[in-house]
Structure 1
Amino acid sequence: MGVPELMFRVSFMAVLIKLASATNYIVGGPSGGWDTNSNLQSWASSQIFSVGDSLVFQYPPNHDVVEVTKADYDSCQPTNPIQSYNDGATTIPLTLPGKRYFICGTIGHCSQGMKVEIDTLASATNSVTPAASPEDSTTSPAESPEVIISSSPSPLFQTHLESPTFSPVIPSTEFPASTSPLAQHSSDFSASSTSKGNLQAYVAVVLSFLIMLMSF
């Protein structure tokens, strides 16, 4: 079922319900009427009028019904009527929200209390909100593009958070045998000691030989 059809059905049903519940109000009733003996303002304030309801004025020939402005209502002035009726059984539909003012045009009757102010409320039809259709909850891909969030970050924005691993470099105190200064010095010292020992032995032999010659 499409949305327009659903809205039409809901509105149509609301109108039917309103028509079924529309009320015809007998002005001044049930214990009074459109006359100078009824407290018409008290009666009107005890009612709730809505758009779609109707006012029913029932009166004898010595009365009539005159709809007037607020100013003429306050001053009981029937000479500039909006509408006037004198059929004895007048039904006036309330088609719009707002206030309307009615008086009796017979001289002196309005000042004796034969006047009524009707405050019509908005119809319940105007406040009906159609129920959401299941089709309304389905969003078209063209109306609402689907947003896809990738679980892997983009290479352009990828940040390497891994900390680089550094291997500590500990200076070695050892030197290769061929390049170590200590080893080289030891070798030189050994060679020097050997040469010195040979020289001392040679000198000793020579001295011994000279001593032997001098002893002869």
Structure 2
Amino acid sequence: MRRSKCMKVLFLALLITAYLKNSDAATHQVGETNGWGFSVSYTDWANEKSFAAGDTLVFNYPASAHNVVPVKIAGYRSCKALPSDMTKAQATGNDKFTLKKGANYFICSYAGHCSSGMKIQVNAT
């Protein structure tokens, strides 16, 4: 009987720990009030912030004007999304992505947008 009670207490403690860990995740509005567009240096914006795995990036923009595509480093550097990347593209104007540990890369795949600065690298600890 006593062992069963200890197991229940341990299980409850683990649930609470998992909940508290997930509740620490932050939400970051990319570009703050300027949103996702041409008016922000996203390199500077990202360098001024601290990001952790599990945090959420929110990209706000006029839905018909842009999109957001998570890419690998090659796509970030070349400003080209692969066809497989495009299956993950979002274009709602209020797109949310959960960061994974390490480098996370995003671009706008509309012609000329990425090369005009609409790309961001975020490093999550």
| TM-score, normalised by the number of residues in structure 1 | 0.50
d(CA) in 1 for partners of 2:14 and 2:48?
30
Q: Does 1:76 align with 2:79?
A: yes
Q: How many residues align?
A: 118
Higher strand share: 2
d(CA) in 2 for partners of 1:89 and 1:49?
19
Deviation (angstroms), 1:15:
2.2
1:18/1:52 contact within 8 Å kept: no
Determine which structure has greater relative contact order: mean sequence separation of CA pairs < 8 Å that are 6+ residues apart, divided by chain length.
2
Deviation (angstroms), 1:73:
0.7
Quote the residue 2:30 is aligned against: 27
CA distance 1:7–1:98, shift in 2 (3 Å): farther
Quote the residue 1:10 is aligned against: 13
Q: Which blocks of at least 5 consecutive residues in structure 2 are unaligned?
A: none
d(CA) in 2 for partners of 1:44 and 1:10?
35
Q: Does 1:86 align with 2:91?
A: yes
Percent pairwise identity: 33
- After superposition, residues 103-118 of structure 1 pair within 5 angstroms as 103-118=107-122
d(CA) in 1 for partners of 2:72 and 2:121?
10
Q: Deviation per CA, 1:121-168, whole angstroms, max 9, x where unpaired?
A: 2xxxxxxxxxxxxxxxxxxxxxxxxxxxxxxxxxxxxxxxxxxxxxxx
d(CA) in 1 for partners of 2:78 and 2:46?
19
Q: Which blocks of at least 5 consecutive residues in structure 1 are unaligned?
A: 122-216
Aligned partner letter, 1:114: M
Quote the residue 1:156 is aligned against: none
Provide the aligned C-alpha RMSD in A: 1.9
Q: Does 1:36 align with 2:41?
A: no
- Indicate the SS of the match to 2:46: helix
Structure 1 or 2, whichever has the larger Rg, is 1
- Indicate the SS of the match to 1:84: coil
d(CA) in 1 for partners of 2:9 and 2:50?
30
Q: Deviation per CA, 1:6-61, whole angstroms, max 9, x where unpaired?
A: 5433332222223333211111114x321111111111122222222211111111
Aligned partner letter, 1:98: G
- After superposition, residues 133-152 of structure 1 pair within 5 angstroms as none
Aligned partner letter, 2:55: D
d(CA) in 2 for partners of 1:51 and 1:78?
23
d(CA) in 1 for partners of 2:45 and 2:36?
11
CA distance 1:10–1:89, shift in 2 (3 Å): same
Quote the residue 2:53 is aligned against: 51
